[in-house]
Every structure is written in structure tokens, then in C-alpha cells.
Structure 1
């Protein structure tokens, strides 16, 4: 689209919202009326069919994705094109165990258990699988086989849980779960990934361990998107730090945090959060070069903010060292708000 002419770009901008509306009808299992069907028919001829042809999907009938979870926006985009994308979960030692079927697609899950497959969740939250597709063992490695294959159950090493609808939510590797004071285990990277699906949140770090009774989070806002949003809504700001602490911005992110938390077990929901006054920076050793959080370093660096998240205050003043172009250094102070959720 970026290389398309002005007319094609205009048509794309006009009909993509129609596609999204039809996608929302689909996922809500509602029937669109004749007006929306007619608009989509025109949009399919003018926009969606040519895009599918470009992707090589013009004759696709069944489409699955596996590996890392896709964002809801990705599912909506493909559905807008007329492609019903579904997720599945498989592992070399046990074959495919879960999949979305028919039109029962839940963004946060990897689907329901397939026929002739048995699944249970261990007391540690690990996904255990039994089926006719289970492997016989690791080649010339009986110790590893005994560790992973106990009776008929293959221990995947992956953590997950069943939803009320019987679908499975994949969290993370069991070894990467963190335990709260009450004994509940949660997956920081799972929650952080779901938060990053929001257009308003660029990055996130979840906190909570054996010394904490609930989960908290430090969020990094998306300055480009929220900067444009603020301008459109006539909200003045000067810097990233200033924009990040605007009440209107917190109202937007609070809805996103509540949306993510609603799909989590009660003990794993984010109870308090804050916007950091700056972005996470690999040059300051906060992230690896592949943008993974350096948790131990970060928890020490932002210890004051973390203590405030587990305290009773609604604001903390953070100090940050800055380096000017002429080589001088200084310290700036920024008041940072803390939001509590029910």
C-alpha cells in the first residue's frame, strides 16, 4: 500500500474499515445486514481480493498460524480480507494437540483439545499430553525420556490453563513462571505480550514475586500514536515525560490493562501500574540488543518505583540523569502517577 498510487490508497482507506466491521460481525457471531454485505462485496472486488492475490492467498481456504501468538489486530486484518485465520499448538514429541476449529476463534487461546488427545494441567500449571502420537523416546537418551515421558503423559514444559469455554491459554515455559506470596504462579512475558498488543502501549514490565501479593506493571506508552491522538483531541504536551503523565493518556491505558486482566486468573491480574517517564533503552542496559527485558537490572534500577507500586501512594517523584550535547550532565525530576485497579 505504501507504494500504491493516491487513488488506490484512498480506496484502501475507505474500505478497510468495512472489512474490520465484517470481521467484528464474524468474531461476535452476528449476521451482518444487507448494507454491510453490499459494501463488503464492493470492497472485496476493489481492495481485498487484489491484496489476497498479492499475498498468494487468493485461493486459500484453510489458514493456520503457530509459534508465537498473533495480536487481535492481526486476526482482524486477515479476517477483513476474508481469510479466517486460526491458531494451533503442536510439539515434535506429541504432535498437534490444540487448534481453533470452525469459527470458534478466541484471540487469547490456542484452541480446544483435538479428538483422540487427552490433556490435563498439572498442579504446577504444566500442560500434559497423552495421545497415539506421543513419541517413543529420545534417541540414545533414556534419562531425558524418563524425565519427559511419565506413564502415558508427555510433560511439555509449557504452562497453560483451560478457560470456562474449554479452550487452552498458553502462558510461557514453566521455568519462566513467577510465584506470588499466595502461591499463585503467573507468566510475566505473557501479560507483557498482551499489553503490547495495545496500540497505546509500546513496552511493559510486570513485577511480582514471593514477597508480593499481587502483580503490578510499568508501562511505556507509544509516543508516536498517543502524540497524534493528543493533538487530535487538543491536549497540549511538551515532552514524552509530560505526555506520559496526562490523565487522558492514563484513561486510555487503564482500559487496555483492564481488558488484558479480564482474561487472566484473578491472582494474576494487574492491580497497580504506572507509566515510566522514558522509554526502555538498550543503551542504558535496560534491554538486550534483541529488546528483551533485563529483569534483574531493571528491578534494581527502578526499585523506588516498584516499592511505590506496592505502597499506598498515588504518585512518586523519579530522578533521572541526563547528558547534554556539550557533555554536561544533570538531574531532572519527574512526578509519576500510580493507578490502582479494582
Structure 2
């Protein structure tokens, strides 16, 4: 198999009548078979070829996670062109940068809102021949055919031979995807990933034998992100049906209705689930709260014994069975009752989250990879999960630890390079090894433990190193009302923190406690500050003195992708936060 379109064609031939995708509809959910998927992709690919998609060209996709994104991607690749991904939340200027830097000549846009964004910078997009709009009206006065409706692109009458010929001409080393790094620092760089990069990861996952056609995968992750793209290709290779809905506010509801067997997410989603459950029982108080806390404590004892490889005493097993019936079984049922495991990536998963979900019978397999390494390089295995690690490498992936502790990754997963940036490429690639920028260590079992980002480690003025993401995860787990935590202290004499409130979680609690519902008033309320202070105090009690957070401030506004303080994969842009809230941070250190 030399290309992703060839992989899809092979899947259609092997299991034409099996379910491929499930999508929301007016009556619930509608399914497509692999045969139907293949036919839609064929017609769309031939239509795109008529519009100019061809080898050595790029087509940008500016769309949220939905079936049409996947169909467009497969169709683009079938023409021999490469897909450029753009996050729907990107501004007009950011979108224009990606389109121009990638050299994209066609753009697939989701709706009128995204088309309007492109129209506003049309003068800056001289090479874009057409914008193809999935939903909404296409033309406006003066467009001159620039905007084309989705349904007009498909070419059902073209011969199959032309489609197969396009696919057969694609080579394994041909460019498949240009994914622009989310840019926690500096301007985004286009990561060049070939067909072979993606196919290698798909084959590696297949060798793990952890998913198959009997599974149902629920996909909500941004397909503009490498993690989502990886899942897209892996499911084709494994023949696993995927239910698709990119709406974040529907995740919990969809889990209950669809009853999937696995789902991937960023840690923020698991934190949100945990905090919602925890805040609800705390608000109800009384017996329910005592039972929940007892069940959580009992579950942690069992989980920690398993992690040590120790036997669980009979009395604890009996208590755990009761805890499971009273608490954990109900939680599993809320997620459909069929989850075999979750997969976590894109950011570190805190120990508290790992233990809570494992105790509930909802084990999270934490993995690790960069866009530059095709998203997936390491993954815990269901039969041997080790909390605090991202598991061993996928089959065929190599790992080395440099003298300064930096993790180096090698193998066919490593990118071709950064688009039109030879110096930046040379700075991170050496003899096929990718410098990840992460600090880590490999244990005796070959599992990788990431301790922190090399560039994000805090060095206090006393010369002590502090891992901020570790502290941030601990504090969020200690207080269910928090959405984000930002630990600061580089070149300062102690650490401080900015915290934001999760208003979806905190509002019901505030109402029951007679506190203001307005974020500005709530953040300054003594009761709210006391909750945060107590949580930080509990975390500080287990830290070395130089790691402890001495002061904090609650912000009225949450960090968000739209505000620029979060990347599209929900990681904090540390420099942006420091610049935007510099006065508050400086005030922590005033004499």
C-alpha cells in the first residue's frame, strides 16, 4: 500500500457493506457504508481534479470536524494533491497566512461565516482559484465564480479508470498533509507529512491489535490537528466505524446515545468530566458526597495496588465492589456502558485523572507524539497501563534520550521537514532523529515518561527547576471549579499562579451557596478565593518549598482559542498569557 487513497480503495473492496461513518441527522444518526464513502470520495476527487487539484498542488480545508471534512481530505489526496489544514477558529489573517505559505490554490470552507472570512482577505489570496463552500449560499455579486457550492463539485459521470489512474500515480513519499503547528511560540510552521508517514502509524497501531471492526469509535477532535488526522487514517486501515460530531457541548450526550467502545481526547475533556461529577456531588453534599469520597478513596487504593503489582486485600475488593455498584457503574452508564478505554494525548494527563477514571473502569491510555512525528509515537497498552508514562514506542518507532534529557524520536513517523524552512528543519532533524523539545526518561520496561517541555521549565532565581504543567494539573484536580491554571516563576524567587473558573461547573455551586453568578464578582468573593486557596494549599503540602505556589489570582475571563491564550489543541500559549497578564504577574513580586 503506497498511499492513503489506495488504503481507502482497499478498505472499500474488502468490506464494502460494513459501516464506515455515522453522522448526526434530523432523525438521530445516519450511517454510510465503506462502499458509499468510496463512491462519494471518487465523485468529489474527479470534480476537484476538474477545478485544478493535481500532484504538487495543495488544497486547504477550513472546516470543523464533520463527515465532509473527511470526504474532502480523501478526495484531495486521491487527485495527488496535498491537504492543508486550517482551524475554523483561525482569524482571516491567520487563514491567509496558511493558505499563502502552503501555496494552496483551492479552499474548502464550511459555511458562509468561513467564506466571509476569506472574502475579507481575497486581495491577499491571488493564487486561490476557487473556494468550495459546504453549507450556505455560494455566490455574491462580484465573486465571478470564485465561490463554488459543494454539490456542484462532484463529477458522477467520469469513468472509474480516471480515478484509479490518479491513485496509482501517487507515491509513498509524496506529500499528503501540510499541518501548521499551533504555535505556542513563534509563527506556525507547516509540517510536511507524507503518505508513508501516515500509513506507517496505521500499520503500527494495527500490530497492537487493540481495535477492530466490532468497535465503534467516537470522533470529535479537530481534524485540522494531527491527532484527529491520525485517527482518521487508523480507522480506515482497521475497518473501524467512526461516529463523527465535532460539537464539544454534545460530547457527553453523544457518548450516552452512541455507546462507543473508545474515544480519544485531550486531558481538558477528562478534567471537565471529573470536575462536573465532583462539583455536582459536592453541591448535593450529605450522604451522596460521603459515598462519593469513600468510593473514590477505595478506588484509588485498588488502582495504586494494581500499579505496584501488589495483591488487593479481600476486604478492599469487597469494598470496591460496593463502590462500583453505588458510584462507578453509574458513571460508566452515562458514557454508554461500552467504553473499553479512552485515549489521551496532546498534553500531559495528571495522575489524579488517570486514577479516577481507572477506578471507574474507564481506563485512559495516555500516548505521546508531535505533529512532526505524525501525532502518534508512544502509547500505553490496555493490558499494561503505567500511570505517569506515555507507554512504550509504537512498533517501528525509535527513541533516544539526549545528554540534556531531551527526547529524540526516530523512524518512518518523522516528518519530511518544515515547509520552505530548511534552517528550522535542520535545527530539529539530525540523521533522521527528531528533537522533540520535551524532557523525559525511559524506564526499564521501555516506557517513556515526559517530565516537561524543555522550553517551558521554570528556573527560579534560586536556580531550582520547576515543571509548571505538572503543578497546573495537580491544582486543577484539587479544585473542580477551575478551568485553567497557569504557573509562573521563571527567573523569579518563587512561583505564583493565574487561575480561571469553569463557569459551567461553578455556576450551579455558586447559586446553591448564594454566591454571585457573575464571573467578575465571583472571582473576588471570599468563599471562592478560599476554595482555590485550600486547593493550592493541599497541593503545596506535597511539594518541595521551591515548587510551591505562594500567591494566586482568579481571572474573570477564561483562556480560550479565540482569545489566543490557547492553541487549537487546548494547550496554553505561555508567552501570550504572560504578555496579556503581565501587570498581574508583576504585582505578585512587588516589594
**Does the TM-score normalized on the shorter chain lie above 0.5?**
yes
2:439 to 138, 145, 160: 160
Alignment of 1:90-101 (within 5 A): 90-94=369-373, 96-101=376-381
Asked if 1:282 corresponds to 2:557, the answer is yes
Query: 1:149 aligns to what?
Result: 429
Structure with the largest fraction of strand: 1
Q: Secondary structure at the match of 1:294?
A: helix
TM-score (norm 2): 0.37
Offset from partner CA, 1:57-76 (integer Å, 9 cap, x none): 5262x543222333444323
More helix by share: 2
Cα distance in 2, alignment partners of residues 45 and 105 from structure 1 = 26
State the alpha-carbon separation in 2 of the partners of residues 298 and 140 from structure 1. Answer: 33
Between the aligned partners of 1:163 and 1:216, the Cα distance in structure 2 is: 28
Quote the residue 1:106 is aligned against.
Answer: 387
Aligned mate of 1:137, from 405, 413, 416: 416
SS of 1:129's equivalent?
A: strand
**Higher Rg:** 2
Matches within 5 A, 1:189-228: 189-199=469-479, 202=482, 204-210=485-491, 212=492, 214-218=493-497
Is the deviation greater in 216-225 or in 19-28? 216-225
Say if 1:134 and 1:154, in contact at 8 Å, map to a contact too.
no
Question: Cα deviations across residues 257-285 of structure 1 (Å, max 9, x unaligned)?
Answer: 243x46xxx9xx42550244xx21239xx
**Alignment map for 1:1-342 (pairs within 5 Å):** 14=291, 17-18=294-295, 20-29=297-306, 30-41=310-321, 44=324, 48-49=328-329, 51-58=331-338, 60=340, 62-94=341-373, 96-101=376-381, 102-107=383-388, 109-112=389-392, 117-121=398-402, 123=404, 126-130=406-410, 132-135=411-414, 137-138=416-417, 141=420, 143=422, 145-156=425-436, 158-162=437-441, 167-172=448-453, 174-181=454-461, 186=466, 188-199=468-479, 202=482, 204-210=485-491, 212=492, 214-218=493-497, 240=524, 242-243=526-527, 253-259=536-542, 261=543, 269-271=546-548, 273-276=550-553, 279-282=554-557, 288=563, 294-308=577-591
For residue 35 of structure 1, report the CA deviation from its aligned partner: 3.7
How many residues align structurally? Answer: 276
Supply the distance in 1 between the matched residues of 2:413 and 2:393 (Cα, whole angstroms): 15
Change in CA separation of 1:32 and 1:136 when aligned onto 2, cut-off 3 Å: closer
Higher relative contact order (CA 8 A, sep 6+): 2
Structure 1 residues 55 and 304, CA, compared in 2 at 3 Å: closer, same or farther? Answer: closer
Gap change, CA 1:254 and 1:44, over 3 Å in 2: closer
Question: Cα distance 1:295–1:193, how it changes in 2: closer, same or farther (>3 A)?
Answer: farther
Report the CA distance shift for 1:145/1:31 in structure 2 as closer, same or farther (over 3 A).
same
> 2:500, 2:555 within 8 Å by CA — same for their partners in 1?
no
Aligned-partner Cα distance in 1 for 2:477–2:327: 26
Q: TM-score, normalised by structure 1?
A: 0.58
* Gaps in structure 1 of 5+ consecutive residues: 3-8, 230-238, 309-342
